[in-house]
Amino acid sequence: MATGLSSQFLESLTLGQTILLFIFFIVASFVVDFTWQPRYPKSLPRLGSEDGYLGTIKNWFQYVTRFNNWVAEGTEKYGKHGRAFVVPAAPARPDEIVVPRSQTAWFLEQPDRVLSTKESHRDSLFNDYQFFGLDDQFPIQTIHKHLARNIISLLPTIQEEIHSAIEATLANVTEEEWTSINLWEFFLGIIPRITNAVLVGAPLCRDGEFLKNQVAFADDVVRNSFILMMVPSIFHPIVGPLVCLSNRLHWRKSYAVAKPFIKKRLDDMMKPENSDYKPPEDMLTWLIRQAKSDGLVAELNPVMLSKRLLPVEFAAIHTTVITAHSLLLDLLSSDPSQNCLAIIREETSRVFREENGNWTKRGLTSLHRTDSAIKESMRLSNFATALTHRKVIAPDGITNTVEGWHAPYGASLMLDLGNTHHDENLYPDPDKYDAFRFSRVREDYQASGGNRDPEEAIRIMRLGMVTTSDSFLPFSHGRHACPGRFFVAHELKMILAFLLDNFELRPLKERPKSFWLGGTIIPPVQIETEIRRRKK
């Protein structure tokens, strides 16, 4: 009977009625999403429209182009005066409480059982669909435990891969003629290979099919995260598996190449008779070693190990390519009077000779001007409005002890990166790329013979790009700061050193513009420049 009535109803619908019904269903879905979101106290000032359901829908549409502006406006009105504020988010995400810089300590001191980084990552990257239900905690813990202790011994491997990757990518560049190259494609040609030298080692890190699919997977995550943010949560069980079919496809293709390498490494490390076997020090080895140490039998198979690499591949490839690309754009478009490229070339080539052609931690650490140029680019050319997010997972929520407002379970809190980096009270002339902003302070301090103030000495020591603070947030801050930042620092310095010592690049007349899509920047990937080999 019910089936018959349903059939009669569907058959009686006109095209116009069907369209109206579809629109009603979509609107109802957004309304349901709105009712599911956590409610914030009215004492918190808000940006965007506040006109109930209609205002919320308007905010969702404007999120794509206005989010970064909302945060900037809120920081100017409230954040700089020590007040938190709320900005609208995408339809499938709760509105964001932007915590002012003055409350950074309170924000970061909250235990993980109250404010969770893991759950924030899981929600914003839609792990259930994009990473097959796996979170990034096991690989992150493994990196924390093993990368720092092995990074020095890995420097020769990283150096060799950087030199080899750049030469392979620029094989057609000669001394006689200028050759046009796309900077984005250039970094996509070298960063994944260098990254995988540390993740899986040679020869897999040089396999074109493997690298192509790992890059494609990283692109899938970025694209699909945005799509799922804009789709009501009620549709995610349907839309999620569909849009993330590409993730599964690219993982399967990369796994088909990697499987024999992973299986052999696993077999060699698991055989009792191989007690004297010394595996290569890379992420794959560390994952196996950590799983054995923790008795995690489920982790010790090729499929799981390949999936555990995925969040690291995504984070390392995506962010490093954008950072390196922005760095070169900033350098090539910098004030010619600063003579940035020549100064960095002089420093890197001089120290490289002093190191007898083999980079060491001491040599890389002594590249103060190069370090400053990279850090300044990361400060100025931030690629995200915020990189430090937390989700409230305490059942009773959390009460802010400074202002007294209460955030319920499920609320999302963040630190404003972009406007902190462009605050004239922290960085004079903040919208200018001043490559040696940080090294100049160090050089002035050393030229004066230093002083006996221990606090000043500590401040000078903390000027390096790997030192996080409440005013420098590209690697986040606190106990959840990026564990791979030391590798990234060494990697970018070595890339810049080899590139500038062996090639000349034409400057750009002006810095190409990027544009914002929600809380993420879209870099000018079409930009090309000319390059030729340097005559030694």
pLDDT at 23: 59
| Model pLDDT, residue 233 | 84
Residue 355 is encoded by which pair of tokens?
């190191």
Q: Report the DSSP beta bridge partners of residue 213.
A: none
pLDDT digit string (tens) for 137-162? 899 999 999 998 899 999 999 999 99
Q: What is the pLDDT of residue 453?
A: 67
205 marked among binding-site residues: no
Q: Nearest CA to 490 among 176, 25, 150, 255?
A: 150
Distance CA 477, CA 473 (A): 6
How far apart CA 412 and CA 392 sit, in angstroms, is 6
The pLDDT, as a whole number, for residue 9 is 44
Helix axes 137-169, 485-502, angle to 10 degrees: 0
Q: On the CB side of 456, how many CA atoms lie within 13 Å of its CA?
A: 11
Global confidence as pTM: 0.91
> Angle between the 368-380 and 437-447 helix axes, to the nearest 10 degrees?
140
Backbone dihedral region for residue 422 (phi beyond 0: left; psi -120 to 50: alpha; all else: beta): alpha
Please give the helix or strand (H or E) that residue 533 lies within, else none: strand 528-533
Omega of the bond leading into 232 within 30 degrees of 0 (cis): no
Q: Where are the alpha helices (DSSP H) in 381-505?
A: 418-421, 437-447, 454-461, 485-502
Determine the pLDDT at residue 244: 95
pLDDT of residue 447: 73
* Strand pairing category for 96-99 and 412-415: parallel
Q: Please, which residues have CB within 8 angstroms of residue 275's CB and are 6 or more apart in sequence? A: none
C-beta separation of 334 from 508 below 8 A = no
Low-confidence ranges of the chain (pLDDT < 50): 1, 9-10
Q: What is the pLDDT of residue 4?
A: 56
